[in-house]
A = this chain, B = another copy of it.
Amino acid sequence: MTATPPRPSAPRPSAAGIAPRARAAGPVDADVIRADAFAVALPVGRWSTDPAVVDAHRLDRSGWIPDGRPLGVAFAREVADVQAVLRVAVARGVPVTVRGAGTGLAGGAAAAPGGVVLDLAGMNRIRELSVDDAVAVVEPGVITADLDAAAREAGLCYAPDPASAAISTIGGNIATNAGGLRCAKYGVTRESVLGLDVVLADGELISTGRRTVKGVAGYDLTGLFVGSEGTLGVVVGATVRLRPVPRATVTLAAFFDTVAAAVDAVTALGAAGIVPAVAELLDARTVRAVDAATGSDLADHGEVFLLVQTDGSGAAEEADAAEAVLATRARLVRRSADAATAETLLAARRAALPALERLGRVLIEDIAVPRGRLAQAAARVAEIGAATGVEIFTLAHAADGNLHPIIVVDPAEPEIPRRAWAAAEQIFALALELGGTVTGEHGVGVLKRRWLATELGSRSHDLQRQVRRVFDPTGILNPGRAL
């Protein structure tokens, strides 16, 4: 992922820390001294303060731009590099922001000013892939799709499939407990992580969990680290569960007049004992955007698009049953006869985000609601768009109750307008009102932090902060993020 950057060319004081006491180091000098401590602690070529390198590693994909810049970027290649960075960071009180591929959507990997970016993209080895144990042991910088591809060569697969799987890392997926399209059947990242190797804030390496499918010795620290957004320790290795590749997959595309009708059909699938591997919904605005971008004529079949996949030994039989359920509710149902047809049906879903990105700058929200409230949530999101005058397009992982209202901002706007942020805030409030969450799979990061105490309750929030202090007593790990 990351080419090793050149050794920093910034001047290095030859004896940092022994400057005469009489002349207190100013802020610039202090930063130089701090940066030097990292340079010295790491092997040659694994530290950079080059402004271009720093700028290339200080943001994620949330659109959020922190004030100030980090000191530099550490490019870890091995566990010892991570330990070295954390030991210096603790000793000097320097904030550490851990980074995988930088695909986060909540600002969790947007670097703290004056801190260090700890880039794990170079720790990208699949250390082991065991067919007998149905596990892989990976470094955090492995691209998720690469792990899945390696597993498939061995007849297995890695089930979690965030939409970013082709570009995001396992470490980032673990940090946010990433979801994806197949969660309703196969669970989120948490359900596929058996154990972790973690460097604690003080540099000590621990292991959590195990290589077994089951195990209840002690508290579930693995689950605590998954989704902790870089605030409890640095994941330097993961033992993940692999599953058999489904024996077959069948894809159905159904077109409806309304979101409510499509959601009703998804509910009816469950009532019929059908467990779809995928149930992706595009609302009417999104369907029209896809048509406009690709020249397709989806909207002629029905305004709302629902993609359903069944998989496993019973994929065909389950698809028969699903087709029957959908047919009584949809205007049209199409079924893949082969891989090529399936690809055509999938194309609309795949095209959705690129189609919206053509229209302007996108802010991707990520609420989840109880499944029975999905239609209501989608309708209310549309109302919020109308009331605030903001363009909102909605995709949903329909079987999970997870909606992605996507706010599209006119590219002519110099910055994200106030009404877009206002719409986002109303969407968060809606999620909580409906008994849901402000983030189903993207994480809290910076953008949803203000809502966290409201969602959690003040005592639970306080307990979580105390847990954070157990793991990071000096507060160097991703300060100002998540909690």
Contact = CB atoms under 8 A, between A and B. Distances in A.
Interface in A117-141: 130-135
A366 to B, nearest CB: 9
A368 B216 CA distance: 10
A177 B216 contact: yes
Contacts of A232: 219
Interface string A292-332: 00000000000000000010111101100100000000000
Interface in A399-428: 399-402
A461 interface: yes
B132 A213 contact: no
Contacts of A312: 275, 312-314, 318
A88 interface: no
Contact of A212 (B211, B274, B370): B370
Contacts of A483: 218-219
A422 to B, nearest CB: 21
A130 B373 CA distance: 12
Nearest to A448: B217
B187 A274 contact: no
Contacts of A73: none
Contacts of A448: 217
Interface in A188-232: 188, 190-191, 200, 204, 206-208, 210-221, 223-224, 226-228, 232
A286 interface: no
Given A134-B371, A223-B224, A448-B217, A212 B437 contact: yes
A438 B206 contact: no
A463 B456 contact: no
A470 B220 CA distance: 15
Contacts of A176: 216
A442 B216 CA distance: 7
Given A187-B187, A206-B463, A130 B372 contact: yes
Nearest to A223: B223
A333 to B, nearest CB: 17
23 contacts: A133-B373, A134-B270, A179-B214, A188-B214, A190-B223, A206-B460, A208-B460, A210-B437, A212-B440, A215-B439, A215-B440, A216-B444, A218-B461, A219-B464, A220-B226, A244-B271, A246-B273, A275-B312, A312-B312, A312-B314, A314-B314, A466-B470, A470-B470
Closest 9 CB pairs of A and B: A314-B314, A132-B372, A223-B223, A313-B318, A313-B314, A215-B437, A133-B370, A214-B440, A212-B368
Given A214-B400, A216-B441, 15 more contacts: A132-B372, A200-B459, A206-B459, A210-B368, A212-B370, A212-B401, A212-B435, A214-B441, A215-B368, A216-B439, A217-B437, A217-B444, A223-B224, A244-B275, A312-B312
Interface of A: 130-135, 155, 176-177, 179, 183-184, 187-188, 190-191, 200, 204, 206-208, 210-221, 223-224, 226-228, 232, 243-247, 267, 270-275, 310, 312-315, 317-318, 321, 368-373, 397, 399-402, 435-444, 448, 451-452, 455-457, 459-461, 463-464, 466-468, 470-471, 482-483
